[in-house]
Amino acid sequence: MLEIVFKDGSKKEFSESIEVREIFRKLGVKNACAGKLDKKLVDLRTQVNFDCKLEPVYFDSLEGKKVYWHTASHILAQAVKNEFKYSKLAIGPAIDNGFYYDFDLKSNLNKEDLSKLENEVNKIIKENLKIERFVMKYDEAVKFFEEKNENYKLEILSENLNKEEHVSFYKQGEFAELCSGPHLLSTGEVGCIKLLNSTGAYWRGNSKNKMLKRIYGISFQNKKQLKEYLENLEEAKKRDHNKLGRELEFFTTVDYIGQGLPILMPKGTKVMQILQRFVEDEEEKRGYLLTKTPLLAKKDLYEISGHWDHYRDGMFVINSDDKNKDVLALRPMTCPFQFQVYLNRSRSYRDLPMKLNETSTLFRNEASGEMHGLIRVRQFTLSEGHIACTPEQLEKEFTDCLDLANFMLEKLGLKDDVFYRLSKWDENNKEKYIGDSEEWENVQNKMRDILDKFDLKYEEVDGEAAFYGPKLDIQIKNVHGKEDTLITIQIDFQLAKRFDMQYVDINNQRQYPYVIHRTSLGCYERTLALLIEKYAGALPLWLSPEQVRILILNESLYEKSKKLKLKLGENKIRVFIDNRNEKIGYKIRQAQLDKIPYMLILGEKELEKNSISVRHREKGDLKSMKIEEFINLINKELSC
């Protein structure tokens, strides 16, 4: 007898081996995409022959959507093979907002090609082809792909599978694909597919490999869901900082300067300055000491820290081929530089915790395909800090770092948009890290205990730790659903030893401190990008680079407007004058498009009454008021 336990705690016994879909049928479960068998995602066609826990997975969950979207990627692959006879298949995963498939094609894809493929995709859906899983021996699988001249599949086979194992395939009609699944039961279960765009993508993300054609798509259960998605996608495009940030002149890029090297224009630079001053002032209140360290160093420094062995591919190295010069590298982080402050003299437990912060300019050699606007760049600015502390101080200092991060998120209005991740090491890939298993488990448990005491909801992910210790990553998604780390707090139990950073404890014994690596706001460029998207360019008043725009009715009022600007400036209000020879209606529309919080309309009538007409970007016309009254209005809003 088999005993199966369901999510609600109920149990049911079955006399013999049974498929997941049959179990769900007997229970009256409808519309499941897949099942979760002892927490592992499985096909509905999976045979159950042991006691287990089982729950249905639906389309309304991300796991369910990914089963659905992975099936759609196979339908796309079949359509491409039908339309382009000599195409070769690479990979086609489900992602968080749909799916893509990479193909080796002889020609570029245009809108007409995508339209033809979409028709072919929908034809395959209507055929309602049964999707079946089967296995081959490794040698048979190699022969199968050799006959089809599918060299990318052969490469995947040679690198990722044990040659003595059976290889998993999924088949629909005449099309068969190397895949571990799970998938839907037939192509007809996919309601509709929309192909979104086509781009280039290097095989394996490596610029040394061939450029392939990547097709992105999305699929849903019905056309209503697809319509809602496409409408949301259009709204996301409007908010995309890469478009809006350029239109509002926050930043620009220039081809001959280089990819991932944005030029911050006056508006963007002003917001960065506001954020930087806010962060540094708040950190000073919390006991941090500001440092300023070099932007580059000899490789010797990075060899001590371990970055040379574990992070060199992500660094910009200088003079590496010249034996007569020092090998230098632009810094990808600040920690080994700030450690020199600690090492400047002997330390006692009375010196701890030592809290150092820096607004750091850093350089990382990001892959070209990963870069996007201000979110992922090659030169960026970080609100970086390092805390050397005793084991007894670790919990409080880590908690204080988390409190600071949450304070910053609250002030920026991003608190409800983030989620938390405990990033652990991968015990199956130990060469990526320094330290032994016992040390890693000990520190990961310490971090977990702290997070649990903070009553924080978080997920645990293997393989995302820094090479020297686990970390709490505060994650966020941009308008397109792409996930990135915004803020990170790391516990480092290794680098103090590598740099011989010791202190004398209360018993006059020499000890190594823990080091907490943390950011309070994260990368300023990324934060600016997310703020542009969050507020659709209409930043909160305290962050707006231009808080007030004075609109004059005619040129004769320009001198008077300058006096008004001076008075507002004396009250630390950021103000500009629009003195163009344009109609007032045009100036108002332009100020609205520029997302200016307040517009002050200045005419002869207002001058006679010693007042100004006030307009708000959202509320429209406000009453006329004295200048002092307006200043009080602004200051009241800024104090909230």
What's the CA gap between 155 and 258, in Å, rounded? Answer: 33
In contact, 103 and 89? CB cutoff 8 Å: yes
Strand order in the sheet with 458-462: 289-290, 354-363, 379-389, 514-523, 483-492, 471-477, 418-424, 458-462
CA distances from 80 to 93, 95, 101, 175, 447 (A): 16, 20, 10, 11, 48
Long-range pairs for 27-31: beta carbons < 8 A, 24 or more residues apart: 29/56, 31/58, 31/59
The residue with tokens 């599978």 is: 161
Whether residue 517 is annotated as binding a ligand: the answer is yes
In contact, 396 and 483? CB cutoff 8 Å: no
Residue 624 phi, psi (nearest 5): -70, 145
What's the CA gap between 452 and 449, in Å, rounded? Answer: 5
Residue 79 phi, psi (nearest 5): -65, -40
What's the CA gap between 286 and 356, in Å, rounded? Answer: 11
What's the CA gap between 496 and 535, in Å, rounded? Answer: 42
Whether residue 335 is annotated as binding a ligand: the answer is yes
In contact, 470 and 444? CB cutoff 8 Å: yes
- For residue 386, the surrounding DSSP H or E stretch is strand 379-389
What's the CA gap between 91 and 215, in Å, rounded? Answer: 11
E-only strand ranges, 464-530: 471-477, 483-492, 503-504, 510-511, 514-523
- Give the residue among 544, 301, 539, 518 at the shortest CA–CA distance from 397: 518
Dihedral Cα 496, 498, 499, 501, nearest 10 deg:
30
Residue 31 phi, psi (nearest 5): 65, 20
User: Six-digit token pair at 76?
Assistant: 């796309």
Whether residue 640 is annotated as binding a ligand: the answer is no
Residue 12, beta-bridge partner list? 4
CA distances from 446 to 386, 391, 494 (A): 18, 10, 15
∠ CA 156-157-161, nearest 5°, is 110
Binding site for Zn(2+), residues?
A: 335, 386, 517
Binding site, residues?
A: 335, 386, 517
